[in-house]
Structure 1
């Protein structure tokens, strides 16, 4: 029997904080008790909370292409990505794999297959420290979005499908000028080309979006895969998501959309970078504004893995809510959203021993260890 004892930690339990002792046996939480014992690892009063669960991160793309025209081998990039996540305290991740894009030269039109292959292979061979799942981000204006996604519908790692529409003039880019700045800066589209590019994207939406949406919604229902809407900006967008059977509303861009999503019981997901930076880079609703009125259920690191843990301590300092409440946004709530709450997401006897220990100096929280299934991995 393999046993570890962690004592004198501020244990963040589902409904309270307890200064106490956690006992791990064979990768599972075997006992939780208040008080300090004489044996085991002494935490000196640091925090101990469940491993973080990430539903939407583009970090693998950054590891593949850290600079324009640079392409790292997919297996190496997947390992770099895994190590960045585990060092940020993430023990379960849904890797966001884009199926299609609005730019016709984007690597997102061709890289989904080798990205999925690298994740699958790394998981099978025990190469990863994090438990990896798949989140297929389906761009509705991409002609082949449904056909590609359907190929992976029975993939054992597929946990989430989201419906994207980055057509200019709506959702994330309701402000056309913001859209121009973003795509000219990120994708190198010139000022002379951008108006024609915008018109082409609008036409593609009219041709492909409705058909792809209908087929993808039916696929998610048939295969019982969790479905998310993305960048909802209006009440009508949310009502469409509800009709589609979405369970998650990713990054609503307005207060009206967030309120409507909450009214219908959708789990509202917002970005940790938005929280830390004090607002959206696209000029949309502030995540903290939604947090302060209890309209956020899940936090995602999006494109900065280290921001996930920091966001929870930031919310605690801003709202006065205890860590055991704010941590739900990155632990049990995302676990529930994709049906994993039975074995992870909270410190409870019988669950996987996935947890992190954290020292907080009042400025920034600092991870001191990451444990997955009872084994220290960072």
Structure 2
């Protein structure tokens, strides 16, 4: 049995003092008054003890596999290097996001093909039988104008290769790109990375006439996902009408609502809402949309994800506490128990409570910045960092 002593436990409803976390067989055995019977004692030194972060939407793996447009690394090498970085910033369960895209407007990516998506999902499934550090999961993002994605997604769900799916629509003039000016700037920014050479008018004409997956297709995929215990998300909701369609489809989660009013409506309708932690650090969305901090303060931002910058989760938690006075335990919940609930794994993960898996972090604040000094996954110590001064 292991014991973590002398820590401030960040629990679902507050911070617990003078408690010892007892760990046995990879799970939290008890929150006790002392370490009696423990064979190994970890001294938290007055630091915070939190659950490991659960990141439901992260594109980071693409940067490790393809660090440059013309350079592609071995998938498993990339995954092993990626998880080491993720562990250092507190992410112990990661839903790696890869997209099934049809067009090349945002740059040709060999990682967004059906072959690469299948290859990576197979790797995620098999990595747990070899040496690894954290829990890896696969989030399949489906662009709705990719008609081929229906059969691919269905096969992958039935083959137990997917742990979350989301539906995306990057049509200009709505969603993330409701501003055509923002869309055009984004297109221009990707030109050098291999995006197709088309004028804006041609692109708009394409989107006006393109085919998309039908309501029936989306509903069928959602029902299949739910039958396999998989959560379903929508992406960049911008109107209540779109939320109503998503509700009819059976969607569970609204990722990155574009407007505060939409986020409020999503909460009223019972959706989990996901906001990006980088948005909090920058003070706004990189696309000029809703402020994640504002959504949290308004009570309609449920879950923090890393999106494209994994360190942001840890820093956003402490920034919201320091700058806006949001209780630390509430912010930690948005990165742990809330995503666990949305992914339907909260019986096992997401909080420092007896019976849960012992995925735990010890967090200090040095020079005004939060840092991870210890991490345990399934009760096994996998990280120990000492800072010098």
- SS in structure 2 at match of 1:76: helix
- SS in structure 2 at match of 1:285: coil
Shift, 1:368, TM fit: 0.3
Q: Provide the residue aligned with 1:148 in structure 2.
A: 152
Q: Provide the residue aligned with 1:46 in structure 2.
A: 47
Shift, 1:145, TM fit: 1.2
1:319-334 map, 5 Å: 319-334=324-339
Contact 2:89 2:371 (C-alpha < 8 Å) held by counterparts: no
**Is it true that 1:163 corresponds to 2:164 in the alignment?**
no
1:65-115 deviations in Å (ceiling 9; x for gaps): 112222111111121222221121111111112122432743212421222
Q: Provide the residue aligned with 1:270 in structure 2.
A: 275
- SS in structure 1 at match of 2:322: helix
- SS in structure 1 at match of 2:28: strand
Q: Provide the residue aligned with 2:77 in structure 1.
A: 76
Point out the more displaced range, 317-326 or 187-196. 187-196
Name the CA distance, whole Å, in 1 between partners of 2:64 and 2:207.
Answer: 27
TM-score by length of 1: 0.92
1:141-184 deviations in Å (ceiling 9; x for gaps): 11211111011112435221111111111100011111111122
1:252-331 map, 5 Å: 252-331=257-336
Q: Provide the residue aligned with 2:243 in structure 1.
A: 238
Point out the more displaced range, 158-167 or 216-225. 216-225
- Of 193, 203, 216 in structure 2, the residue corresponding to residue 197 of structure 1 is 203
Name the CA distance, whole Å, in 2 between partners of 1:260 and 1:251.
Answer: 13
Name the CA distance, whole Å, in 2 between partners of 1:199 and 1:215.
Answer: 29
**Is it true that 1:181 corresponds to 2:182 in the alignment?**
no
Seen in structure 2, the aligned counterparts of structure 1 residues 364 and 55 have a Cα distance that, compared at 3 Å, is: same
- Of 138, 142, 145 in structure 1, the residue corresponding to residue 142 of structure 2 is 138
Q: RMSD of the alignment, in Å?
A: 2.2
TM-score by length of 2: 0.90
Contact 1:102 1:139 (C-alpha < 8 Å) held by counterparts: no
Point out the more displaced range, 9-18 or 272-281. 9-18
Seen in structure 2, the aligned counterparts of structure 1 residues 101 and 49 have a Cα distance that, compared at 3 Å, is: farther
Name the CA distance, whole Å, in 2 between partners of 1:248 and 1:208.
Answer: 19
Name the CA distance, whole Å, in 1 between partners of 2:126 and 2:229.
Answer: 24
Name the CA distance, whole Å, in 2 between partners of 1:100 and 1:212.
Answer: 17
Name the CA distance, whole Å, in 1 between partners of 2:48 and 2:240.
Answer: 40
Contact 2:121 2:161 (C-alpha < 8 Å) held by counterparts: no
Shift, 1:224, TM fit: 4.5
Q: Extract unaligned runs of 5+ from structure 2.
A: 384-389
Query: What is the aligned length?
Result: 374
1:203-236 deviations in Å (ceiling 9; x for gaps): 22x4546564344334334545211111001111
1:276-330 deviations in Å (ceiling 9; x for gaps): 1100011101101111111111000011111111111111123323222211100
Q: Provide the residue aligned with 2:96 in structure 1.
A: 95
Shift, 1:194, TM fit: 3.7
- SS in structure 1 at match of 2:157: coil
- SS in structure 2 at match of 1:353: coil
Name the CA distance, whole Å, in 2 between partners of 1:363 and 1:174.
Answer: 37
Q: Provide the residue aligned with 1:18 in structure 2.
A: 16
Shift, 1:135, TM fit: 1.2
- SS in structure 2 at match of 1:72: coil
Q: Extract unaligned runs of 5+ from structure 1.
A: none
**Is it true that 1:118 corresponds to 2:123 in the alignment?**
yes
- SS in structure 2 at match of 1:168: coil
Seen in structure 2, the aligned counterparts of structure 1 residues 191 and 130 have a Cα distance that, compared at 3 Å, is: same
Point out the more displaced range, 185-194 or 276-285. 185-194
Point out the more displaced range, 184-193 or 337-346. 184-193
